[in-house]
Amino acid sequence: MSKTIFQKIIDKEIPSEVVYEDELVIAIKDVNPVAPVHLLIIPKKCIPTLNDLTKEDTNTVGRMIEIAKDLAKEFNIHKTGYRTVFNCNDDGGQTVYHIHLHLIGGRKMNWPPG
């Protein structure tokens, strides 16, 4: 199976703007931001979609959400608010098949999403 763009970023084969990294997770700036703050929190383990999660991923996913919370504070959107999104498969708008948590903020967002 060929590497996803995120696996290439994790393996440092292509550049990205890294804002956080540890042994489980990397967080980068989205190359095509939809808001003033748009970060992606990505597990280092390649899990294609949320449907592929197993019990052994529970700690990693919890860590991803904790990092999103910390980055929201670091990027100063924690008080105004923000959105965290996992897109899944085609109807969910997923384009990269390596799960990632979008952290989006810095402007008012609509609900329901389009």
Name the residues annotated as catalytic: 100
Q: Name residues contacting ligand AMP, limited to 81-100 (CB under 6 A).
A: 87, 93-96
Contact predicate 20/28, CB 8 Å:
no
Q: Which of 113, 100, 106 is nearest to 38 (CA)?
A: 106
- Looking at the Cβ atoms of 72 and 99, the one nearer to ligand AMP is 99
In the complex, what is the shortest distance from the CB of residue 24 to ligand AMP, in angstroms, rounded to a whole number?
19
Asked if 30 touches ligand AMP (CB under 6 A), the answer is yes
Binder among 1, 2, 32, 54 for ligand AMP (CB under 6 A): 32
Cα-based distances in Å from 65 to 8, 37, 71, 82, 93: 22, 16, 10, 13, 20
- For residue 12, the 8-state DSSP code is T
Q: Which stretches of the chain bind ligand AMP, using CB under 6 A?
A: 5, 16, 28, 30-32, 40, 87, 93-96
